[in-house]
Amino acid sequence: MEKVLVTGGAGFIGSNLVEALLQKSAEVRVLDDFSTGYKENILTDPKVFLMRGDVRDQSLLESAVQGTDTIFHLAASVGNRRSLENPVSDAEINILGTLRLLQAARQAHVRKIVFSSSAAIFGELRLFPIQEDHPIAPDSFYGSSKFVAERDCLIFGALHGISVTCLRYFNVYGPNQRYDAYGNVIPIFCNRILRGRKLTIYGDGEQTRDFISVHDVVRANLLAVESEISEALNVGSGEEITINKLAQMVQEAADVNIGVEYAPPRLGDVRHSRAGISRARDVLGFNPSVSLREGLHEYVKWLRADPITRASLGGD
């Protein structure tokens, strides 16, 4: 794993992965269009070569993959709500962008691809917990496009002798994750706390989610790249928590009591979610190590110190 391409490497998960790769002395190439990523997320390091561009640009992809042995494909249009508002853009980036990258990888004789998929492919919970063979019934264009891209990766790998591991992330949180109205509930809650506003819960708050620290997600990626396993694996904590309980824990982590208000349920939101991670444990040796309480304290501390977040709040 000497020369590595990370698409979406300036984003939340991608930048944490880049940092971990540098610690392993990898030479890292980052491709990002900065639609949601930040240059501030990328460490100034001579082993990081930054390329600005779009995964829909075939010639740029061909240039980006040259000389690389491994690709971590994280670039995507992310989020159920965003996809409902922009379904065509979602498909162009997540499906066509992935196919173009796969074509470029084949031409460059890439050995390994780790594709970042999503638990959004499953839709509403039918079996508990959600194992890899759970029925696929996405409730959003995002979930649908991620599943199509995932299948395309596995088919392409089987046809052309490329080892491909797809990691289905559940709700990831942690450092370098900034506020996005379309994004994870944790940064949305924390942003409201920093602004002194009550937390908004959609529905009754008894819906559940499986939250996993970005540090554990990065570890799953590093384990996957060393494996020859070509399949899709769940990456979550294996535990669920209600949004009501999460609201309480976030306030405790921030040492505030800001209060909660309720709003009608949102279109496309599933009721319950919890990852079954036995397969990832068996084939990768993956075990989550960061508790939600520990991870929330780390995240709140990072967010309060983040200059971009401080500037958005009117701080120095």
For 20, other C-beta atoms within 10 Å of its C-beta total 15
**In a shared domain, residues 140 and 111:** yes
Residue 178 lies in a domain: yes
**In a shared domain, residues 27 and 141:** yes
Q: Which residue has the higher pLDDT, 166 or 314?
A: 166
**In a shared domain, residues 79 and 219:** yes
**In a shared domain, residues 43 and 129:** yes
pTM assigned to the model: 0.95
Residues linked to residue 165 through DSSP beta bridges, in sequence order: 114
| Percentage of the chain lying above the pLDDT 70 cut | 98
Mean of pLDDT values over 218-230: 97
What is the per-residue pLDDT for 315?
Answer: 56
Q: Compute CA distances 70 → 24, 113, 199, 269, whole Å.
A: 14, 6, 41, 34
Structural domain including 167 reads 3-172+212-235
CATH number of the domain bearing residue 27:
3.40.50.720
Encode pLDDT of 238-294 as tens digits: 999 999 999 999 999 999 999 999 999 987 678 899 999 999 999 999 999 999 999
CATH number of the domain bearing residue 270:
3.90.25.10
What is the per-residue pLDDT for 44?
Answer: 76
- In this structure, the dihedral spanned by the alpha carbons of residues 42, 183, 259 and 244, taken in order and rounded to 10 degrees, is -120
Residue 143 lies in a domain: yes
**In a shared domain, residues 185 and 118:** no
**In a shared domain, residues 56 and 194:** no
Residues in the chain: 316
**In a shared domain, residues 134 and 182:** no
- Both tokens assigned to 108: 């460059």
What is the per-residue pLDDT for 45?
Answer: 79
Question: Among 45-49, 133-137, 298-302, whose mean pLDDT is lowest?
Answer: 45-49
Catalytic annotation, pick one of 142, 169, 173, 299: 142
**Average pLDDT of the chain?**
94
**In a shared domain, residues 118 and 188:** no
The pLDDT-based confidence of 15 (bands split at 50, 70, 90) is very high
Encode pLDDT of 175-216 as tens digits: 999 998 667 899 999 999 999 999 999 999 999 999 999 999
- In this structure, the dihedral spanned by the alpha carbons of residues 303, 310, 251 and 299, taken in order and rounded to 10 degrees, is 0
Residue 281 lies in a domain: no
Residue 316 lies in a domain: no
Say if residues 290 and 216 touch (Cβ distance below 8 Å): yes
What is the per-residue pLDDT for 182?
Answer: 66
- Both tokens assigned to 244: 């009501």
Residue 10 lies in a domain: yes
**In a shared domain, residues 266 and 147:** no
Say if residues 212 and 169 touch (Cβ distance below 8 Å): yes
Say if residues 198 and 205 touch (Cβ distance below 8 Å): no
State how many domains the chain has: 2
Say if residues 165 and 229 touch (Cβ distance below 8 Å): yes
Residue 285 lies in a domain: no
> What's the CA gap between 306 and 41, in Å, rounded?
11
DSSP string, the chain: --EEEEETTTSHHHHHHHHHHHHTT-EEEEEE--SS--GGGS---TTEEEEE--TT-HHHHHHHHTT-SEEEE------HHHHHH-HHHHHIIIIIHHHHHHHHHHHTT--EEEEEEEGGGS-S--SSSB-TTS----SSHHHHHHHHHHHHHHHHHHHHT-EEEEEEE-EEE-TT----TTS-HHHHHHHHHHTT-PEEEETTS--EE-EEEHHHHHHHHHHHHT----SEEEES-S--EEHHHHHHHHHHHHT----EEEEPPPTT--S---B--HHHHHHH-------HHHHHHHHHHHHHH-HHHHHHTT--
Position 1 pLDDT exceeds 70: no
Residue in the structure block whose two tokens are 């991608």: 14
**In a shared domain, residues 136 and 260:** no
299 is catalytic: no
- Both tokens assigned to 187: 């940064």
